[in-house]
Amino acid sequence: MLNVLTAESDLYTLFTFVGDAGFYFFPIFIAYTASVKFKVTSVIAMFLGGIIIHPTLIQFVTEGRPFTVYGIPAQIQNYSSTVIPIILSVWIMSYVERFFKKHIPSALKTIFAPTLTIAVMIPLSLIVLGPLGNFVGNYISQGILAFGNLGGIGQILAIGLIGALWQFLVMTGMHIVMITTMIMVFTTSGSDNLVTLGAVSASMAVTGMCLGAALSIKNKEDKSLAWSYVIAAFIGGVTEPGLYGIAVKYKRPFIGLMAGGFAGGIYAAMTGVTAYAMVPVANFLALTAYAGGSTGNLINGIISGLIAVVVSAVVTYLAGAEKKVGVLNESLSTSR
C-alpha cells in the first residue's frame, strides 16, 4: 500500500476481509449454481456449502483435533475457497434428494426430504467426497516429488509439472503436501531448488494468462475485467480473480496457464536456479525468492518468471478465451 495504510489499520483490515469474503465463501456460491445445474433445492445445497466451511470445523482443522461423523473418523479439512468438493457433493446430493422426494409421502416431504438429505450428505461430504480430493492430491504431489528426488531430468520434469499443475492443486486444496515439503526443505537447508521454482512460475503464469485473455476477449466489459485481473495478479499478488474469473470461466485459458507454468519451471530447473527465501506473495515480489545467491541465480530466476508470463500470454491469446463452460462458468457469473 506504499505506506499509505498500515497493516494494523482498520481500513486495511476492512479491505482485506471484504476482498477475501467472496473467495472464502466460494463453496456456498458454487453450491447455488451447481444446484441449478443438477436440479437440487438451492437452499439445501447452499446449507451444505455452509456446513463444510463452518468456523468450528475449520478450527478443528487448525488445531489438528480428531473428529468423527456419526462415530466414523473423518479427515476434516479446510474447504474455504475450494471448488471441487462442493460440486461433487451437490452432484451426489441430487440423487439423494431425488430418492427421498420420490419415496416420502407428500404430507411429510416438505420436512423430511431436506432433513434426511442433509443427514445422508453430511458423512458423504465430510468423510468421502471432501477428503477424496486431498487423497488424490497427496498421490499426485508425492509422485511429482518422487520425480524430483531422482535428480537430473527427473528433477527438471518435476519442477515443470509443479509449474503446470500448481494452480489446480491450490484450487482443490491438494497442494498441502508440497507446501509441507517446501517448509521442511527451507528449515533444514535454508534453500529450495524444487517446489518454489514451480510455484513461482505458476504464479507468474496467472499474470500471463490474464494478459493473453485481456488481449483476445472481444466483450468490452469482460476485457476490462481481464485487465484488472492482470493488475491484481502482478501487483497485488491476488491470483483468484484471474483463476476463477478467466481460467474457470472460459476453460481454454487453462492451456496457457499450464504452458506458462511449465515453461518457466523448466527454464529455472535447467539453469539451476535456487530459492533462498519463502516469499508468501504471488505477485512480482515472488521473484525475490531467488535473491541471496549469485547474481546469475537472481537473473535466471527473473527470466524464468518472464518466460512464464510471455508463454502463458501467447498460448492463451492463440487458444482464445471466450468459450465458456458449464457449472463453473455459471458460478463465476453469479459470484461476480
What is the number of other CB atoms lying within 10 angstroms of the CB of residue 234?
Answer: 22
Cα–Cα nearest to 199, from 304, 125, 124: 304
Burial per residue of 293-323, b for 16 or more beta-carbon CB atoms within 10 angstroms, e otherwise: eeeebbebbbbbbebbbbbbbbbbbebbbee
- Binned at pLDDT 50, 70 and 90, residue 336 comes out as very low
Query: What is the spatial distance between Cα 95 and Cα 101, in angstroms, rounded to a whole number?
Result: 10
How is residue 106 written as a grid cell?
407428500
Residues in a beta bridge with 20: none
DSSP 25: T
Half-sphere exposure of 236 (CA within 13 A, CB side): 15
What are the pLDDT digits (tens) for 1-25?
567 778 788 888 888 788 777 778 8
Question: 67 - beta bridge partners?
Answer: 74
Sequence-ordered alpha helix ranges (H) in the chain: 10-24, 26-38, 42-52, 55-63, 84-103, 106-123, 130-150, 152-171, 176-189, 195-216, 220-234, 240-242, 248-250, 253-270, 295-319, 326-335
Q: Which amino acid is at 229?
A: Y
Measured from the Cβ of residue 56, the count of other Cβ atoms closer than 10 Å reads: 8
Mean pLDDT over the full length of the chain: 85
pLDDT 10s digits, 35-55: 988 999 999 999 999 999 999
Examine the pLDDT at 330 and tell me if it is beyond 60. no
pLDDT at position 119 is 95
Q: What percentage of the chain carries pLDDT values higher than 90?
A: 46
- Model pLDDT, residue 328: 45
DSSP tag of 80:
T
Separation between Cα atoms, residue 275 and residue 291, nearest integer Å: 7
Q: How far apart are CA 290 and CA 10, in angstroms?
A: 33
pLDDT of residue 134: 63
Q: What is the pLDDT of residue 332?
A: 47
Res. 324 pLDDT band, cuts 50 70 90: low
Dist CA 276 CA 293 (whole Å): 7
Could you tell me what percent of the chain has a pLDDT over 70?
88
Question: Is residue 331 predicted with pLDDT exceeding 60?
Answer: no
